[in-house]
Each structure stands twice: as structure tokens, then as C-alpha cells.
Structure 1
Amino acid sequence: MNSRSIHLLLLLNILVFTAYGQASKSYYGKVLNQSNQQAIAGATLALPQGLSPVASDTLGFFYIKQLPTGEYTVQLSAIGFRSKKVKIKVSAEQLNLGSFYLEPSQEMLQTVEIYGRKEKSYSNAKSFLGSKTETNLRDLPQSVSFATKELIADQGLMRVGEIVKNFSGVNQFTVYDDLSIRGFRVNGGSSTQLVNGMRSTTGFWKQPLANYLERVEVLKGPSSALFGNASPGGVINRVTKKPLDETKRSLSFGIGSFNNFRALADFTGPITKDKTLLYRLNIGYEDAQSFRDLQFDKNVVLAPSFSFIPTENTRLNFDIVYNDSRSRLDRGQSVFANGDLHSTPISLSMNTTGDYLNEQTYMVTTSLNHNFSKNLSFNASYIKTGYAEDLNEHRSSNAYAVDGNGKEIQNQVARQVFLRKRKRFMDNLSAYFNYQIETGKLQHKIILGYDYAQEVLPVGGSQLTANGFRNKDNTGSISKYDPKKKDLYKLDDKGNPVPNVSNFDLTDRLKSQQLQDISKYFYTSTIVAPTYYNLNAFYLQEQVSYGALQVLLGMRYESYKDITGYKTDKETNVYQHKFLPRIGAVYTVNPQINVYGTYVQGYNPQTASAIANPNAGGPFDPLESDMTEFGVKSAWLNGKLQITTGIYQINQKNSLFPSPTVDNPDLLVQIGKERSKGIEFDVHGQILPNWSIIASYAYNDAQILDSKNQYEVNRQKPNAPHNTANIWTRYTLKHGQLNGLGIGLGANYVDKRNISLEQNQSIPGFTLVNAALYYTVGKVQIQANLNNITNKTHWIGGYDYIRLFPGTPRNFLFTLGYTF
């Protein structure tokens, strides 16, 4: 860490302790769990005199200002506890109102996240992601990064890929639903992205929208012991908004750069007077153009959610998220073959006017929580995901055009056309018992569970492909050009082979992007091979607490079945079995500081379905990984500001690498080893009640240690920057004539990255500066976001210099919101 970083940390500490001194002048009290004396975060104290409710922080403290002296009876409530009325006595001589105790209700045992979150801050004290039980993040022996809906709204974000800039060790790999976590790739086409802790899948091409999300969180490192096959870098979990037992309604409308328009609605509350039936409805509409040529995105999102509470021991949730998306598929920017990144504008794309990508995605989730007794509960959740794709695109052939001698033409890119339709369906069922018991001084949380998942790409998927070069008689096409056999090809007046699909001329993009007659191309038809896999898994986990020490022990047995040659006369069942251990420990040094350590293992099958290539060869052994991580989690300013620091090393073996032959150009071999190690630092929360902050720094050394391709060995992996950092802070004025005025300011730094190790290509690092203004008058909020203020030209990722993904130049978003 350099001297500048140290100075910034010292300044942050000064601000923290200065704010602590200011905040201590409030009336304050503490809310505790009656059964174990532990602090309760997020408890709500409903105040009289028409004052807004206050909520307890992560250490259980709440603070009250501007309440006249006297004695009051107020309502105290918290999710998972029985509400009750308590008396508080406010006097000028006594700032400490004392401790208040709540009795746990049956909801304390829930392990499916089915309760709406009432807190309104950048902080989130608890999660179900890391242990499948409601656990304080400080008590989880693994690193978790998150962004709440408040942060997402303040930054004016609409997509998950934009949100991850706030997470240490996470960055975009491309503009698609495609990320890198600690140097390992994670994307929506795999099962390593979760929705409410359940396995889901998307179409890869589009980032999930965020208007229906409560928060986005990342569990770092292998998580196979919890969720089955997963990336060693971590998993992304999207937590949807849940119904609340109080009526809240909001509307917002936004307009911005590049003809961007969005309209969002969020309604929630009880349907019945006894609050046994609750609802929430999120609606989103987006119609946005882009700084990229011919790109647009139109989305309609409907996300209803219902909670049914027939008794105090049973709760049932039902959620639907439906997204209809109309767009074009952006395959990136191409530059001249000399490698000059500025030889073409960042707006340049390979598309033509007639291209389109239409997608429909739905996720249907049902969750049940039932309590048999104070100590025993049963939880089950089922999610069904459906995805349909209809694609028509012109794109590069991942190569430059060639002349009659087979040499690259510097200013022309070879193109191809894809016409494709396919569908994908995924089911995931998770059921488990949760049992809590005390044996002497030991407290136990025991989970015994079963998971089932299956993914099917059904019959009917197919693709038409037009590429290569026209034959001499102009009656068909030849996939590759051989300058030694010119007499087989149709040649132009310069002696160059005539492509089946016209080349893209980088010096005349308007002509290349005009509407094309796709009926004039010669196509080959291929089947999108149907695939099927399922898994059955049993797991046992125990969280043991003894004083200041907490230990987490877990074991999962998983049986993975893949059918090669699915729906053909060559169907073959391929099985893989795996035991996956997990161990971690957390020690509470003092009320502010916890230290933790963990060791976990992971795996990912490499069967035909998993690698989506039936011609790859094999069978292959699964990817195997392990991680060791140590760190410190601390809470300051009465728990309002949380700081996490961790160091880690991840090892992975059995990686696949291309080994094409004349008979099989898709053949893969299995010899690879990879290692990622680094350090991460995260800060989030409040310095003052009206001053919020989130910041992070990550150093990641992600290298390929063993590969068939020697140029890859000991090189930093593609799209894995060594250094990333971010900061975002919001300050709101609470008094005077400017009451309700807020300002947000932030910056993001991403280091230089490799994109193609084979061609020794890289993209430069960048720093972006963003700002926002907020003004709230009663129920109306006006918001203006200005991003990339310095108009920095940058690239967020890429595969090579033909497929670069530039970041957005300077842009604005103006939002008008109304809450009622």
C-alpha cells in the first residue's frame, strides 16, 4: 500500500472519530435479543409527535433527536421478533434510555429470505447467502460485498454489471452478463448466478436489470459446499424486493443521454386488514439508445410478489420476475489491424440496421417457512427459470479480411451472419431443516438439507450461419481462403476473394452498416445441440458458538449427471460425484472487531452440457478449486460504519485449453492450473446520519501456472486487473434554507488489463469521476447524475482488438421521483 493510500485511510479515521463525537449527543438506547442478549440490527422504534421512526444499527443502538422531554409509550418491532410496546423517558439529564429486549418469534429460524427490508442505507447487517441461515455479516467467515437498493438508486444504476464497480475484486469482463471475480470469470450463461440464493440462468447477452432488486451481493471464493458447482471466484446473488407490512408506493421517471427514458414503479403493503396477505409490485419500462452505433435497449419488467402468513408459524412467498427485452447484440468495437485503439471511434459496431436480439426471461419462485417448535423449522424454495432467444446479427468473424495473397487488409474486418433461435429452462429445489439447541455453553445451529437442480436446452434450437468466401461459380461458399487454390474462389477486380458476407470497411462504416439483403447469403444450417444435466445433493452444516468463538463446519455430497448426445440415438449418462468440505471460524476480539479464517473447496463439471460444446472431446475431470482466506471485520460509530479487510489465495486445476486438429477444430485438452491471490478492503455505511459512504480497494494477482500454450504461463489472466478501487459518498443537508439538498461524489479506478495473451494485446487502465445532486421536497425527489465527468475514453473489457467493449463517455441522467 503506497503513502497516498495510507494518508487516505488516516483521513477516513479522523472523519470517523470526529463524527462519532458528534453523534453521541443524541438520546440513545439499545435493542437486544431476550434469549441470548445479542444485539438486534434493524429494529424499528415508532415515535410519537409525527416523527419518523428510527432503526437500530448493526450493534443494536438507536438514536433519537428533537424529541421533547417526557415519558412516552412507543412500539418496538423487528423482523424475527415479537413486537411490543415499551416506555421511554426523555430528560435533559439522561441521554441513555437503557436497553430494550425483544422475544424471538418463529421467524427467527427462517433460512429462506422472504422478509422485506425496511432499512434505508448503504449498510446491510445480515445475509442468508454465506450460510443459508440469517447471519450477521460480521459473523460469517468469508468475504461478502453488497450494494443496497439505496446505493443503486443514488448512483442512478439500472444494470447489475454497472453495480459491481462498487465491489472489491469484481469487474466487468465484457458488456454482457459477464464478470470477473478475483480473476475468475462468472457469467449469466452458467449457474453461478443466484436469485434469492437459488440457481438461475440468463441468456448471457444482457445484464440483469436492477429495478426489482433489494440488493446485489457477492460471496467471494468457491461456494460449492453451499450451492454446488460454481466458479472459484465467487457467486453473484440478486435479492428481489419482498412485500412489507406497511403501505409504501413510489414512482420515478428518468431521462438521460443517448435518448434514454425509464419509468419505474414500486408498490407494497398489506392486502388484508390483519396483514396475513402482503403484496409488492415492481414495474419497469426502459427505452434507451446508446453511444454505440445502432444499439438500443427496450425492456418491460413485471415483478409481482406476495406473502401469505396464515399462522404465526407459517409463511409462504410467491415471486415472479418477467422481462421482455428488444435490442441488438453488440459484438464490440474493431480497430485497424495495426492495433491502434484510437484508429476507430468507440461508437463503431459491426451491426446493420436489420439486426435484432429479442429475449424473454421469467423467474417464478415459491418459498415456504414453517416452524414446528421454537427450535425446529423447515424451509423450502423452488425456482423455475425460462429463457427464449431470437437472434439476427451481423458480426465480425473474429479476423481481418484478406487479400488474394492471404495477407490481412488493415482497414477491413471479415464478417459473418448468425440467425438463431433457442430456449433454456432451469429448475432448482432446495429443502432443509434448521435446528437450534444449546448444550452447556455451546450454541448450535444445525442445517440438514437437500438440493435438486436441472437445466435443459430442449430440441428445436438451431442456427443459420453465413460466412467464408464465395466459390468460383457463385453457387455456394467455402469456409476458409487458401491463396494456393485461387481457382476455387470468386475473385474481385483486384484479385481478392469475394466474401460470402461483405467485409466491414472501417473507413466507411455508414455503407457497411446499412440494411443488407440477408437472402443473398449462402447459409449452413446447424442444430443447437440439446443438452440436459441434473444434480442431487445432500449437505450438513453446523454453526457452533462458544463465547467469543464461532465455528462453521459444512459438508456437501453432490452427484452430477450429464446426458451426452441428448435426444439422439447415442445418449450416454455421465456421472460425477464430489464431497465438498467447508470450515471457518470467527473470533470476536471486542464489540467492534471480529477476525476470521476459512478454507473451502469448489468444483465445476466439464461435461458436454457444462462447457456447451459436444465436440470438445473428453470426458474431462471437473474443475477443482480451493481457497484459504483470513481477514478482519469491524464496525465503528455504533455499528453504522463497517470495514472489512481480507487476504486470500485460490487454486484451480484441470482447466481446459484448445487443441484443434484437422478432424476436430473444437478439441480441448485438460492440463491447466491457475492461481489467484490478493488483498481486499471494503468500507460501507454512515459517517454521520446524513453522510453515507462506500469504498473499496483490491489487489489481485491471477496467473496461469500451467498451460499447453506457453505464452499464457505466468501471465496475468485476461480481464483481471491487478488493482481496482472505488469510492462513493453522499452528504445531505438537514437544516437551514438548503434543507433536503444532497450531493454525491465518487470515482472508480481500474488497472491496465490483458485481453488476448496469444496476441499480447491489452487495454489501458482508467479513472472515472461521477457526481450527483439530490433535492427532496416533501414527497418529491429530484435527482441529477453526471457520470464520467472528464469524458475519459476507456474500455471495460474485450477479447482482442476486433472485439473491444468501450465504456460510456460523459453522460447524464435526470430523475423525478414521487413517494406516496
Structure 2
Amino acid sequence: MRTTLLKLLTIAGISLGMLSDNAQAQTTTDLVIEGRVEDEKGKPVPNVSVRVEELKTSTSTDAQGHYQLQLKPGKYTLRFSFIGYKIQLKKADLTTESLHHFNAALAEDSGQLQNVEITGRKERSYKASGSFSGSKTETALRDIPQAISYVTKEVIEDQQAFRTIDLIKNMSGVNAFSTYDNDIVIRGFRASNSLINGLRTISNGWSSSLLPYVEKMEVIKGPASAMFANTDPGGTVNIITKKPLNEDRKSVMLSTGSYNTTRIATDFTGPIDSAKTFLYRLNLAYQNAGSFRVLQGSEDIVIAPSFSFIPDDKTKVNFEMVYSRTNGRLDRGQPIFGATAGAGAELLYSTPISFAIGKDNDFLKQTNLFSTISIQRKISDKLSINASYMKFFWKEDLMEHRTSNNYAVDAAGLPIPTLMEMRASRRFTTNNTDNLTLYGTYDLKTGPLTHKVLFGYDYIQSAFPKDNNSSISARGYRNAANTGTINSYNPANSSRYLIVNNRPVPNVPHFDLTNPDYSFALMSDYFTSATINENTPSKYYVNGVYIQDQVKWNKFQLLLALRKEYYVDLIKAGEADEQKVDQSALLPRVGLVFTPIAPLSIYGTYTESYQPQGAATVGNAAVFGGPFDPLMGKMIEGGVKMELFEKRLAINIAAYRIEEKNILINANDDANPDLLRQVGEQRSTGIETDIYGSVNANLSILANFSYNKAIITESDVAEEVGTLMPNAPRSQGNVWAKYVFGSRELKGLGIAIGSNYVTKRNTLNSALQLPGYTLVNAALSYSVKKFKMAVNFNNIFDKTHWIGGYDFNRLFPGTPRNYMTSIGYVF
């Protein structure tokens, strides 16, 4: 990995050196070219890219549509471009006069919208104008009858975020359940599925996803099954990757900060040929970082190339690949002392938040590799055919010592609250996931109505093959003869166990919370056995057909969708005793948007979700219990979407009610720690607000607020009815504002400040509740010519807090006060 880092640093150094030579070869002149860019109604258009084609020099318009460039005398071509408008070219013949004026009027171009995302987003702000997630074709967010929260790459850069877990505070109603990949809570429901560019990925990873190749992170609020098959009722995360642009943009950034963090990231994009039919993008990133957590920290690398081929106005093709690798340890969370009589929340502080369980020789090596090809072919002015295929490969190589989620016991079976019962695992696992989506769109008119009809087919397949899924583990207590183990201790049969000092002897030594031992330990030190449940090969595949119609009439837009889904799960796939579980569902979606005036949309929607229980769960009643019914949910939502300050600022307000039946939770059975049970029904009702964009050219803002009541409404355990669902706060909010000074004295100086809060939350254990918290963050930046320097301060007041948690033995503390500095070069 050091060799890889050296290579990346060498590439960055060569790039910077070449740029420095180019910069020295250029001389500043006194000739100034300036102008104003307006739309067809005479209103200014901010953030328009103004590019000098011959010099590959560019700038962008400010909030009033103004721009300014300094050039040598000569003949040039000025290119004015911005998403949603037709490109305009102007010839400029610069004489020796010191000032030249060139204005431009841009015409709107709805034809720039894509059915399959081939070329990238050109906007450079906290606000995004459109999304593919709401309807599978690029649609203005104000026209989608469902709430979609998002974070753009500009926010990612300004907050110096590196993983998805760093971003969720920026979206209303979204918070962490743990620090693991996609283990979040959306509108009170725990998420279990995620998408990349609208295509399904494996969700079993431990390390939170990396961000260097991410253009935008979205959360589709509420059920999205009518578009994306089996999704969660609270919402679904969708990662949009950076696509090639048809204009040159390049950047290199070096960062360092708390916990010995070192980071380098590069982003190169532009046309390959002069005709701009071939486009490319290359993102590279490397990070080596420690942690405030004992034995944690990791080394990460990302390599993400993508290419677009646009031979004519009817054909578009995109190919991309993302390789990411993490080398660290698996953090199972902070353990605290076990519950004792009269003790409650104060036990949270019985161990420091840096406390973790493990051994020095533990490791987690995780690899993700996915590649995607997308094709769009315009058959006629009305008909387009679209196809996307993604292959996702995930590999885990793991050695860990962890708790068995229990405290040690004495010979009488009484718990010892300062000793953790342990287990050890050595595991190698792979997964292959395939996604194929084929759909067409057809535009037609029936009287006063215009239709965009979408009809399609999806195939999703995910497999854990037998040959690449091996695991051994050590757990339980040693038998009286010390020749083997028994999984759990039963004091009624104490004669069957090896007893020393009035305690049963564990197979893996207990972990003493008062005197931790992190020394090396090998699997050969224990009695081990194959982990049958984890070694069982499994596979699932989904076939879905769907139709959708987006109907427009006057100021109304109606969305009607219906999907028929067929789920097939296989346990012991390919073996003689293979078990097959077939399930199916019919999933409707109805939405209405009313636009009384151009900047304002009012919408309402109804949609459903369906998630079959996995074959490994349904088909193994001896271990998990069951059989279990599928997860079924439904949502009704209404809201308002507004655009203010010449469409620079977006405000979205939503109110909702979501119901889900048959969630599986652990039964807390000491004799069978894997036993599950179903909770009858949960209901989430709430209101949320998201604000994105800029007030003017100097002030950018991102803010959100949510109030959510997520409770259990039906359960076989009477005491559970009315209780808050785990890690579902009643209220949470966030604000991040950045101001860049425009005066000559302070030009280029930026200051940002932000704060986020979360109210108290329940854990999976009714005896333990996590306190609420409020954090304050800030940043300073300075841009001069093509250089940008920044420093971010997080959790300025060093607030001790927990972002999520399972139980007394598995809590996830937030990071104490920390900082990150960076220097970047854009060209």
C-alpha cells in the first residue's frame, strides 16, 4: 500500500509540476472581457460556465449573471453553458482596448435531460436541480411527488467528508444506527438496502462507503419498491457517481488532520477528442487514518475511471468502474459495564468512548469492485430505449475477537458485569451481485394531456457461493474433560463444565473491562468449528416488470406506476438438499403534483413496500425460529417544494405516515442467541424540512429539521406497544452555512459554521437509552487564483455523544473534537 501511495503522490506531483510550468508561461494582461448572462425573460442566470475554447480557461457567472475574464489580444470563442439551457457560442475579437462587453441570452433546453445518466452534473452548488431516482428518468426535483434529500459533492468538499457516515446529518430524518455501511435509520425505520445509480448493491459491508467518486448522495424518502423492488419503508440510499463532463476540469487535493490522517484525492475530467464524442473522468484517492478508538483506524484506496461515448445526438454510452479497498479492523462498538440494580444511564460513562474489544492481530480487509455500462438510444423523437447493467463484487477477509453479546457468569449463572463473554472468528466471504435494467420511454399526447410512458424489466441476482465462503469460530465454555466446548452455560448442569475458581472456563478468555488485554491471540489457542450458517451457500434473484405514466395537464402532473415482482430465494444453492422459497408482490404508486405558480409545487403520494424474508432465515427454523411473514409497508405523504432567489435556493417540506408489519428482531433467548421474533406493526408519523442552495453569490446554506414519532403499535409483548423504535429520535436538525467574501480586501476568504443536534434515543435494550446531543462545527477557507486552502473544526466543544447503539455491550460513540486541513489546486 505504501507503493500505491507513492505512485499517487508521484502522479500528483507531476501534474502540479506541469501546471506550475504552464502557469509561469502565462502572463497577465490588462485586457478585460466581461458581460451578463440572462434567460429568455431577461433574468440573470447564475453559475453559468463561461469558457474560452482556445485557451481552456473558464469562469462562472455570479448571482447577478455577471462574469469577467482577463485575456491577451486575439480572436476567441466564448462558450456559455449551464444545465437546462442550450449551449451558446460567441466570437470575440479582442483589440488593444482595455474593456470588451459580451452578453448572452440562454434559451431553456429540456432536451438536455437524460433517460440514463451518461454525462455528469455541471452545477457547482449545494442545490441539485434534478434526479433519476424519483421516476427512473431525469426529472426536476420539484416535479417528483415524493421527498428526496441529498448532499452534493460541493458539500462533501466543504465539509471535508470521506465516508457516507459523515454525510447523513445533512439530510432530514436520517441518523445512524451504527458506524457500519448503510446501517442507518430513515424516518424511524432501520435501512437494509442501498443503490448505486439506481442499481442494487450488496449491503453486508462493515466499513462505511467511501466518497471520492461520489457526485451526490440521495435518500429516497419512504417506500421505493414500485421503482426498485424490495426496498425499506423508511427510505433508500442512492449513491450517484461522478460522470464525465464535456469540459476540462481537474483538481488535486492533499489533506491531513487529527488521528494522523493523511489523504490525497484527484479528479480529472474532460473530452478526449476535439469533437467531444469521447469523454473521460478519473478519480483517485488514498487515506491512511488512525482513530480515537483503540485498535481502530484504516488504510483506504479508491480508483474510479469512467468513460462516455456520444457519437451523435441519438446514442449515448457510459462505462465506469470503481475499485475501493479498506485495510483495518472491525469495530464492534464500545462495551460498558453490565446493568446492575439501580444503575442506568450512568453506566454509559463506566468505560471511555475510546474503549474497544479486540486483539492486536485482528484485521479486516474489505474490497468492493463494481462496473457499470449504460446505453441510451433515441429511436425517434418520441421513443427512447435504455439499458444499464452493473456487476458488484464484495470480498471480506476477517480475523476478529468480539463479544458474544453476553456478560460472563459465575458457577451459579449470575452475570459478572465487568467481564465480557467472548468469541473469535476467522472468515473469508465473497458476494457477487448482478443488476440488469431495461426500459423504454414513449412521449405521446391524448387531447390536452401529455404522457411520458415508461415500461421496463429488472433482474437482480445476489449470490454467496459455497467455495468462497468459509468460516471457523470459537465460542462457548469448555466441557469438564477440557476436550471440547458447549455453546452456552447452564448452571443446572454445571457438572458438564470445567469449573475453576467458581467460574465456568470459557473457550475464548473473557475480556476484563477493568483491565483490558489486547495482546496477540491465535485461533489455534481455542477449540474451533466451522460456522455452518455462514458457510451455507445462498442465492436470491428478482424479476420485475413495471409500467409508469407521467401525465401532464395544465398545472397538474399525475404519476401512476405499477410493478409486479417475483422473488426467488435459494438456501444451500446448488446442493442436493437445496431449498427454494418463492414470493411475489404487486406494488402500486400514485402521486400528484400541482404547480400554481412556477417556483411552487404542492404534491401528494401513496406508495407501498414489500420485502421477503431471506431464505436463510425462512428455511432454518431450528436456528432462527419461524416461519416468518414478509415485511409489508405503506406510506401516504404530502408536501410543498419551492425555489427562491432566482431558483438558487430550494425548500422542501414533507409530512408523512408510514406503517410496516412484521419486522424481525432478536428474541434475546440466552439458550439460542440467533433466535428471532416478529413485531406486529410499527408506525412512523412526522414532518421534515430540507433547505439547499445559495441566497446570493456569497452565501450558501444547507439546513434540515425533522420531527418524527416512530413507535411500535402492535406486538405480542404488551410492554412494547407505544415505545419508540430503536435509534429513532423524536427530533433532529442540522445547519451548515458558508459565506465567501467578495470585497477586494477579503476576496477569496470563506467562513462556514454549522451545528447538528439529535434528541435521546432508545437502543435494542429497553434498559438503556442514549442521551441527546448538540455539536458545533466550523471551517475556514481561502482561494487565491487556482489554489484553495481550508481547515475544518468538528465538534468544537468536545461533546461526548453516541450516534447509535445496540446494547450495553455494543455502543457507537461519536468522534471527539478534531480538525482537518487541506490544500487543493484546480485547473
Query: Does TM-score exceed 0.5, indicating one fold?
Result: yes
Offset, 1:669: 4.8
Contact 1:283/1:303 (<8 A) preserved: yes
d(CA) in 2 for partners of 1:613, 1:320: 37
Matches within 5 A, 1:668-687: 668-670=676-678, 672-687=680-695
Alignment pair present for 1:808 and 2:815: yes
Structure 2 residue aligned with 1:197: 198
| Structure 1: gaps (5+ residues) | 1-25, 89-94
d(CA) in 2 for partners of 1:376, 1:605: 35
Contact 2:83/2:122 (<8 A) preserved: no
For residues 95-121 of structure 1, the C-alpha deviation after alignment (integer angstroms, 9 at most, x for no partner) is: 99896425565x54x321121111111
Letter in 2 for 1:123: K
Q: Report the more deviating stretch, 301-310 or 620-629.
A: 620-629
d(CA) in 1 for partners of 2:295, 2:549: 54
Alignment pair present for 1:186 and 2:230: no
Offset, 1:73: 8.6
Structure 2 residue aligned with 1:519: 524
Contact 1:203/1:389 (<8 A) preserved: no
User: Equivalent pairs: percent with the same residue?
Assistant: 44
Q: Report the more deviating stretch, 421-430 or 586-595.
A: 586-595
Alignment pair present for 1:457 and 2:464: yes
Structure 2 residue aligned with 1:508: 515
Matches within 5 A, 1:148-227: 148-177=152-181, 178-187=183-192, 192-227=193-228
Alignment pair present for 1:791 and 2:798: yes
d(CA) in 1 for partners of 2:196, 2:669: 40
Instruction: Give 2:38's match in structure 1, choosing from 29, 32, 52.
Output: 29
Letter in 1 for 2:314: N
Change (3 A) 1:812 1:100: closer
Offset, 1:545: 1.0
Structure 2 residue aligned with 1:399: 406
Instruction: Give 2:702's match in structure 1, choosing from 670, 694, 698.
Output: 694
Instruction: Give 2:659's match in structure 1, choosing from 651, 656, 672.
Output: 651
Alignment pair present for 1:778 and 2:785: yes
Letter in 1 for 2:749: L
Instruction: Give 1:592's match in structure 2, choosing from 587, 599, 610.
Output: 599
d(CA) in 1 for partners of 2:650, 2:116: 25
d(CA) in 2 for partners of 1:682, 1:604: 28
For residues 690-718 of structure 1, the C-alpha deviation after alignment (integer angstroms, 9 at most, x for no partner) is: 11000000011111111223332211000
Instruction: Give 1:101's match in structure 2, choosing from 101, 107, 110.
Output: 107
Structure 1 residue aligned with 2:555: 548
Change (3 A) 1:618 1:474: closer
Offset, 1:279: 0.7
d(CA) in 2 for partners of 1:171, 1:277: 40
Offset, 1:304: 0.5
Offset, 1:78: 4.6
Contact 1:780/1:819 (<8 A) preserved: yes
Q: Which secondary structure state, in structure 1, belongs to the residue aligned with residue 349 of structure 2?
A: coil
Offset, 1:311: 2.2
Offset, 1:508: 1.1
Letter in 2 for 1:549: F
For residues 54-92 of structure 1, the C-alpha deviation after alignment (integer angstroms, 9 at most, x for no partner) is: 4699xxxx7125699xxx99544455775343699xxxx
Q: Which secondary structure state, in structure 2, belongs to the residue aligned with residue 225 of structure 1?
A: helix
d(CA) in 1 for partners of 2:208, 2:164: 6
Structure 2 residue aligned with 1:16: none
Q: Which secondary structure state, in structure 2, belongs to the residue aligned with residue 513 of structure 1?
A: coil
Alignment pair present for 1:756 and 2:764: yes
Change (3 A) 1:87 1:221: farther
Change (3 A) 1:548 1:40: farther
Letter in 2 for 1:642: A
Q: Report the more deviating stretch, 389-398 or 517-526.
A: 517-526
Q: Which secondary structure state, in structure 2, belongs to the residue aligned with residue 414 of structure 1?
A: strand
Offset, 1:745: 0.4
Alignment pair present for 1:479 and 2:480: no
d(CA) in 2 for partners of 1:496, 1:336: 19
Change (3 A) 1:65 1:324: closer
Matches within 5 A, 1:727-742: 727-742=735-750
Change (3 A) 1:667 1:408: closer
Alignment pair present for 1:111 and 2:119: no
Structure 2 residue aligned with 1:275: 276
For residues 131-180 of structure 1, the C-alpha deviation after alignment (integer angstroms, 9 at most, x for no partner) is: 11111101111001010000011001001111011000000110101110
d(CA) in 1 for partners of 2:79, 2:522: 69
Offset, 1:719: 0.5
TM-score normalised by L of structure 1:
0.89
d(CA) in 2 for partners of 1:100, 1:665: 65
Offset, 1:415: 1.2
Structure 2 residue aligned with 1:718: 726
d(CA) in 2 for partners of 1:498, 1:258: 38
Offset, 1:292: 0.2
Structure 1 residue aligned with 2:27: none
Matches within 5 A, 1:406-425: 406-425=413-432
Cα root mean square deviation, aligned: 2.7
d(CA) in 1 for partners of 2:54, 2:576: 76
d(CA) in 1 for partners of 2:408, 2:525: 20
Offset, 1:613: 6.2
Structure 1 residue aligned with 2:24: none
Contact 2:631/2:661 (<8 A) preserved: yes
Structure 2 residue aligned with 1:64: 66
Q: Which secondary structure state, in structure 2, belongs to the residue aligned with residue 756 of structure 1?
A: coil
Change (3 A) 1:715 1:613: farther
Q: Which secondary structure state, in structure 1, belongs to the residue aligned with residue 142 of structure 2?
A: helix
d(CA) in 2 for partners of 1:455, 1:204: 14
d(CA) in 1 for partners of 2:44, 2:201: 34
TM-score normalised by L of structure 2:
0.88
Offset, 1:360: 1.1
Number of residue pairs aligned between Structure 1 and Structure 2: 768
Letter in 1 for 2:180: Y
Offset, 1:38: 14
Structure 2 residue aligned with 1:766: 773
Structure 2 residue aligned with 1:258: 259
